[in-house]
Structure 1
Amino acid sequence: MPKELICDLMKIALADKYSSDYITFPVHNRCIKRVNQHVGLSLEGYSCYIHCNDIRHVYNRHPEAHHYLCYIPDILKNFDSIEKEVVPERRTGGSQVVYKFYKKYNRNLVKLVKLRVHKDKTINLKTLFVMDEVVQ
């Protein structure tokens, strides 16, 4: 069901550049378990948040990857690898924790970047792009 919600939100975001619609869906139990095993983070009770602005960012900056947006639930649930990184936060000057989920689709390696938001237990889409072609 989240896949269809994301695809519908994509249509709205790309048809109306002023739309501020968003969706949320709970992080799948398989994702929670695997993230905890790989990076020691508990995503229990977290939701994934996707805003129209994020979709437009991916569409405008990474056009080759925008069709993978609908696959975000699959990328989270079935990622091939994950990395954790602490990066500077431009607005506040503080730092933020970013998680990078990698998933191979055919010959493409897709990188999904999510930002962890501490106060409201959501992970937000930051960006998504195709990194490179995977040699089989």
Structure 2
Amino acid sequence: MRELEKLEAEICNLVELSLSDKTYCDQVSFLLSEKTIDKAWKHFFIDIRDYTCVIHSDEIRHIKNEHHDDVYLICKIPYYLEKFVKLERNIVSDKKTGKPVISLIFIKRNENNSVKMVKTNLSREKILRLKTLFEVV
């Protein structure tokens, strides 16, 4: 089994556990692949070297509540990070503190739709946290 497939299986397991138990609290973290880092720099001039992607149980439940049918896409995040076609930088306000938060939006196009994945970018910590993920037709 390839590394990408192992990682996707680990994330799918986290999704299942997070959805089956509302008190379950865990996360999967992984370094971004060289392919993702190179593409982000070469095509969009965004430096994400040494960044870690984190997917937490709470974020999974948020996506389930907000974008019910799209929760199954979470398992494919490593694939979407490698195969994205567009990367946008955005600034949003934190709902609790009101402070600006820099986020990155990775977009992967499929035949009939696009998948948008928003990752908040905490640059000092070099962590990309999953904010939301959804399909756009």
After TM superposition, the score normalised by the length of structure 2 is 0.90
Moved more, 119-128 or 87-96: 87-96
C-alpha distance in 1 between matches for 2:42 and 2:88 = 12
Do residues 40 (structure 1) and 45 (structure 2) align? Answer: yes
| Equivalent AA in structure 2 for residue 33 of structure 1 | D
Q: Which runs of 5+ in 1 are unaligned?
A: none
Contact 1:39–1:84 (CA under 8 A) maintained in structure 2: no
Residue 135 of structure 2 corresponds to which residue in structure 1? Answer: 130
> Which blocks of at least 5 consecutive residues in structure 2 are unaligned?
1-5
Return structure 1 stretches of 4+ with deviation > 4 angstroms: none
Question: Which string of whole-angstrom CA distances, capped at 9 and with x for unpartnered residues, describes residues 111-136 of structure 1?
Answer: 1111101232110000001111xxxx
- Note the aligned Cα RMSD (angstroms): 1.3
SS at match of 2:68: coil
* Pairs aligned (count): 132
C-alpha distance in structure 1 between counterparts of 2:68 and 2:39, whole Å: 29
Q: Secondary structure at the match of 1:38?
A: helix
1:62-118, Cα deviation, whole Å (9 max, x unpaired): 122111111100111110111111122233322111111111233221111111012
Is the contact between residue 99 and residue 114 of structure 1 (CA under 8 Å) also seen in structure 2?
yes
Match of residue 29 from structure 1: 34
What residue is the counterpart of 1:100 in the other structure?
105
Match of 1:62 in 2: 67
Determine the C-alpha separation between the residues in 2 that align with 1:89 and 1:35.
Answer: 25
